[in-house]
Amino acid sequence: MSTMLADLGVKDTMTNMNMYLLAALAPLIGSMLTGFFGRKIGRSGSHVVAILGVLVSLILSIKIFIDVLNGNSFNGSVYTWAVVGGVSFEVGFLIDRLSSLMMIVVTSVSLMVHIYTIGYMKDDPGYQRFFSYISLFTFAMLMLVMSNNFLQLFFGWEAVGLVSYLLIGFWYKKDSAIYANLKAFLVNRVGDFGFLLGIALVLHFAGTLDYAAVFDQSEDLSVRQIELFGGVGWSLITVICICLFIGAMGKSAQFPLHVWLPDSMEGPTPISALIHAATMVTAGIFMVARMSPLFEYSEMALSFVLIIGSITALFMGLLGLVQNDIKRVVAYSTLSQLGYMTVALGVSAYSAAMFHLMTHAFFKALLFLAAGSVIIGMHHQQDMRFMGGLRRKMPITWMVSLIGSLALIGFPFLSGFYSKDSIIETVQLSSIPGAGFAYFAVLLGVFVTALYSFRMYFLVFEGNYRGNNQSGQDVSESHHDPHESPPVVWIPLVVLAILSVFSGAISIQPILFGDYFKDVIFVLGSHDVVAQFGEHFHGWLAMGMHGFQTLPFWLAMAGVFTAWFVFYYSPKTRNKLSVFAPLIRLFEQKYFLDKFNEWFFALGARSLGGLLWKVGDQKIIDGFLVNGSAKLVAKMGTRLRRIQTGFISHYAFIMILGAFTLVTIWLFGK
């Protein structure tokens, strides 16, 4: 009987393994078929294959999610790549409640983006290539979230970075796109270097790359010290966590490694939605949540995470106030919301961070795709100063954009309210150093978020249409009249809008206050601010009703009112903003960080390269070593050549002189 049960267990394991493999590989298969055979199967065949791959992955992700909820988790190796010095380098899966949640978020948003792309990219000559890239992007993210070891995590990490390079520079004939993808690639390499150092430290001191084995040693690692500079001892766990978080700073665009994300707008809108909502930028947040057994033993690392997140949440949101490109406003919104998630990680509210990651994925994808719908309707005009009044011309896009904006500012009962307010409350309860500054930053960030979100809303959808200002003619009488997008574009918007409304209320109880993350995320009792917040939680309905009385709500309403007054009711008021000209210039120049990077890093690297080329290569290597040695040999040859005269009498004379010298030495040497 026991043998039969064992056989059944093996069969079940193999069945699950095949399911996990298919869930991860389905987008890869779709990407390869579309990429290699796109011309043969045509445009329709390409998008059918790519969408089918992601759809299969989504269905299997849902099945896996249900299976995990029933208590069937998995942690095991699929393939052993190499064994070096007793360390196994494996491809393996860790399927638990954290990874299964991420799989659903990634595949659902990716599917909506794939469907949306049919309408958005219909006239683009790189149609098949685009579908191949976004399917590959989905595969890379799935490999990252499903990994059970640091090696596979790093593979997914770098694969996401590589494909983002291809996607941001998709329109490779545009100079701005080339600059943007190179910038994203280089900035992420800075973060990835820190990430790799963290993994190397884990391997060196823990002797393994397997998550479970490393986490078992967390407490032992926390008491060890290492010397970095000048014999000063550092906590090993702190150094590991900070190095790992530097990687997250690159991927999740945290200050000061955030500079690449706004420029990623040079890629097509579906890419912006995929990068900003479900894939690349969420990788860092997910990684820190996964590494909670390490971060919990270093309060210094948590404080570092908290401060960086606070700076990003507040100061990146301020930059959204001066943007005129509709996509860039949403991009800076992403930076700010990623800061909120990072702040939650810093106060050990990992579940709140993941909760906001999930809700944010839905409404941020909605906002980006709605912005793309506006761009389609405006015939690829992206400047909000030439929009206005689109509520009447694009009613579906208007409605979903309003829902997305309200979710973003945390309006009660919408998804963003539950996740965002949970973060604010947990920060208030935290005693981690820097929590006071973080609380101030996230509170002020609420006002800023509402201000730039509804500035965008009023400029785009309300008032009078301003598109005719570009040419001086009445555009409403021409073929450039704005129009609603086709169903293949707005149907994904409606689906995402529904998720943006209901996902928060449905999931707050199990994710935050239930036992959903019980055995997945580790939190020390002294850091458990979510449990403290849970003492005041009485259900989603009570929380939503109470939300109308809280300070964040009134700050959000103040932001909405300010935007309404300045950008709709009294536009002349904007002329009086000239008193803030120095501050506006500071925001427009993005705190001069781009200029600093161009001057210090780019110009510095070029100057150093020029110095090494002219001095090191030309003068030392070529001039001194290569050409110098050749000249030395030539001069010696010239001198020696004078001895070789070719006359026998000279050689005889030298022989006689040598013999005389030897005889003299022999006689007088005695």
Per-residue pLDDT tens digits for 6-43: 343 444 566 678 888 899 899 999 999 998 888 888 88
Q: Where are the alpha helices (DSSP H) in 378-524?
A: 390-393, 395-409, 415-429, 435-461, 487-508
pLDDT of 599 = 77
- In the predicted model, is pLDDT for residue 471 greater than 50? no
How would you write 52-76 as a 3-class SS string? HHHHHHHHHHHHHHHHHHCCCCEEE
Of the candidates 171, 386, 357, 176, which has an alpha carbon nearest to the alpha carbon of residue 280? 357
**Single-letter residue type at 146:** M
Average pLDDT estimate for 202-209: 88
Q: What does residue 255 show for φ and ψ, rounded to 5 degrees? A: -55, 135
- In the predicted model, is pLDDT for residue 301 greater than 60? yes
Which of 112-121, 307-316, 574-583 shows the lowest mean pLDDT across its residues? 574-583
Q: What is the DSSP letter of 226?
A: E
Cβ(146)–Cβ(65) below 8 Å:
no
Which of 240-249, 288-297, 596-605 shows the lowest mean pLDDT across its residues? 596-605
pLDDT of 3 = 40
Average pLDDT estimate for 331-337: 89
Give the mean pLDDT of the chain.
85
- In the predicted model, is pLDDT for residue 328 greater than 90? no
pLDDT per residue as tens digits for the range 393-438: 888 989 999 999 999 999 999 998 999 999 999 999 988 888 899 9
Q: What does residue 30 show for φ and ψ, rounded to 5 degrees? A: -60, -40
The residues that bridge with 426 in the sheet, in sequence order, are none
- Rounded CA-CA distance 540/365 in Å is 24
pLDDT per residue as tens digits for the range 54-73: 999 999 999 999 988 888 88
pLDDT per residue as tens digits for the range 74-108: 888 888 888 877 777 888 888 888 999 999 999 99
pLDDT of 470 = 52
481 vs 110 pLDDT, higher one:
110
- In the predicted model, is pLDDT for residue 5 greater than 50? no
Could you tell me the pLDDT band of residue 534, with boundaries at 50, 70 and 90? confident
pLDDT of 16 = 78
Q: How many CB atoms lie within 10 A of CB 176?
A: 12
pLDDT of 264 = 82
- Rounded CA-CA distance 74/655 in Å is 91
- Rounded CA-CA distance 466/387 in Å is 5
The tokens 């057994």 sit on which residue?
293
Q: How many CB atoms lie within 10 A of CB 468?
A: 16
CA atoms within 13 A on the CB side of 409: 28
Residues 6+ apart with CB under 8 A from 371: 269, 326, 327, 330, 401
- Rounded CA-CA distance 329/562 in Å is 17
pLDDT per residue as tens digits for the range 344-389: 999 989 999 999 999 998 898 899 888 888 888 888 788 888 888 8
- Rounded CA-CA distance 378/303 in Å is 45
pLDDT of 1 = 36
- Rounded CA-CA distance 341/354 in Å is 8
